[in-house]
Amino acid sequence: MKVFVIGSGGREHAIVWKLRQSSRVTQIFCAPGNGGICDEAECVSVDVKNLDGLVQAASRIQPDLTVVGPEVPLALGVVDEFCRRGLRIFGPTAAAARLESSKIFAKEFMQRNRIPTAHFAICTTPDEIKDALPHFGTPIVVKADGLAAGKGVVIAHSREEASAVANQMLAGKMLGEAGTRVVLEQYLEGEELSFLVVSDGERVVPLVAAQDHKRVGDNDTGPNTGGMGAYSTPKIVDPQMRDWLLTHVARPVVNAMHEEGTPFTGILYCGLMMTAKGPMVLEFNCRFGDPETQPILMRLESDLLGAFMASAEGRISEGDFHWSNDSTVCVVLASRGYPNTPETGKPISGIADAEKIEGVKVFHAGTRKENGTYFTSGGRVLGVTACGSDLKTAVLRVYEAVSKIHFDGMHYRKDIASRGLK
């Protein structure tokens, strides 16, 4: 079978890598791909925002299945376009993807369907911000309504700071159109958890859970990023909590979307805060997370293609997934200046040496390849990922692998998975 993967990040490299392990896959194409993906798939030079270009590429390739990695083409309606042309595709429609593309839609959806989430207020004018702020304690979370590549959330430590950030967003000075409507949200204390499920529009099957590290610096300091690392272990969620999350979050979302006429198929990523009062939903994503995908798929022992096909064809079941009891860790290596203005064009060395370490795979994100050499081409450059029989072993392996790699300005967090080791 031929598979067409849309995207260019570490998530898409992990998907391509796992699909290559399927005996049913004969060819993999990726648009636009990156330096590492081009070693494992045939890359097609099409921007993910160019729906016409993606449709034309699929018409040439004639894939048996297309898999959408990033959120932008989903929000633009790539699934709708492919379905209109009778092309099988894995992912939600634009209407269903509003759970991610609009924070306001998601909060109102959770409110009317009694899905646990933080107190919030929607603001579209400076006066609404001024009126809402007295109803919140501090810190206050300020969220842009639209897609902002993981950078649309600011934790303000005073009402004055929250007011300034929210007004800057509304004026389009921080995030452009993504921030022209704003959500103010109660700050929640606890541990974050990434709980992903796959749905065929009716049924819901859980994947193994992971924990992301969004802040750029050690000990959760500095600004939010798209993610600086993640880990997954068999103990991160016990069976009772898994069942609770399915019963009170994932299934109610899929059931309500179906009832509202926008069935949800594909990956539903539930970003949760595990508070003292129980789990609360921070956000929904409508695709695999990045960098959570890397450690999650490293634990998958079954055929990823089969699971994707089952979702796209309306027959998903828990039997489509088999997981290892290993622990896995991904550490993101970022460019100098990330997450604001990353430097690019730096040669990268040591990837082959890193991958000689047992249980290690280096997933490419912001890279390009020229004359046999990899160069940086984005903010998040590589996702060094390792597995081990326990979390301590995986952490030791991943940081040994990181020590082999170098590019000018490289920075990374040195505490990924430390919470899991406590």
Q: Please give the biggest Cα pair distance in the chain.
A: 59
Name residue 258's amino acid. H
What are the b/e assignments for 78-103, b being 16+ CB within 10 Å? bbbbbeeeebebbbbbbbbbbbbbbb
Which tokens belong to 337?
Answer: 């200046």
Give the residue extent of every domain in the chain: 2-94, 119-186, 326-422
DSSP state of 213: -
Q: Is the CB of residue 298 less than 8 Å from the CB of residue 230?
A: no
What are the b/e assignments for 309-348, b being 16+ CB within 10 Å? bbbbeeebeeebbeeeebbbbbbbbbbbebbeebebebeb
Length of the chain: 422
CATH class, 326-422 region: alpha beta
CATH class, 2-94 region: alpha beta
Number of Cβ within 10 Å of residue 24's Cβ equals 12
Which tokens belong to 173?
Answer: 């000075």
Instruction: Say what the pLDDT of residue 58 is.
Output: 97
Name residue 204's amino acid. V
CA atoms within 13 A on the CB side of 187: 17
Note whether 119-186 and 326-422 share their fold.
no
Instruction: Say what the pLDDT of residue 173 is.
Output: 67
Instruction: Say what the pLDDT of residue 179 is.
Output: 62
Range 119-186 classified under CATH 3.30.1490.20 = yes
Q: Residue 11 and residue 18: Cα distance in Å, rounded?
A: 11
| Residue whose pair of structure tokens reads 């959330």 in the numeric block | 153
Which tokens belong to 74?
Answer: 């989903």
The pTM of the full predicted model, rounded to 2 decimals, is 0.95
Name residue 266's amino acid. G
Instruction: Say what the pLDDT of residue 197 is.
Output: 97
CA atoms within 13 A on the CB side of 247: 6
Task: Show the DSSP H helices in 22-147 as ranges.
Answer: 51-61, 71-76, 78-84, 98-101, 103-112, 126-132
DSSP state of 8: -
Predicted confidence pLDDT, tens digits, the chain (422 residues): 999 999 999 999 999 999 999 999 999 999 999 999 999 999 999 999 999 999 999 999 999 999 999 999 999 999 999 999 999 999 999 999 999 999 999 999 999 999 999 999 999 999 999 999 999 999 999 999 988 776 688 899 999 999 999 998 988 766 677 667 899 999 999 999 999 999 999 999 999 999 999 999 999 999 889 899 999 999 999 999 999 999 999 999 999 999 999 999 999 999 999 999 999 999 999 999 999 999 999 999 999 999 999 999 999 988 889 999 999 999 999 999 999 999 999 999 999 999 999 999 999 999 999 999 999 999 999 999 999 999 999 999 999 999 999 999 999 999 999 999 98
| Residue whose pair of structure tokens reads 């390739």 in the numeric block | 61
Which tokens belong to 86?
Answer: 């009778």
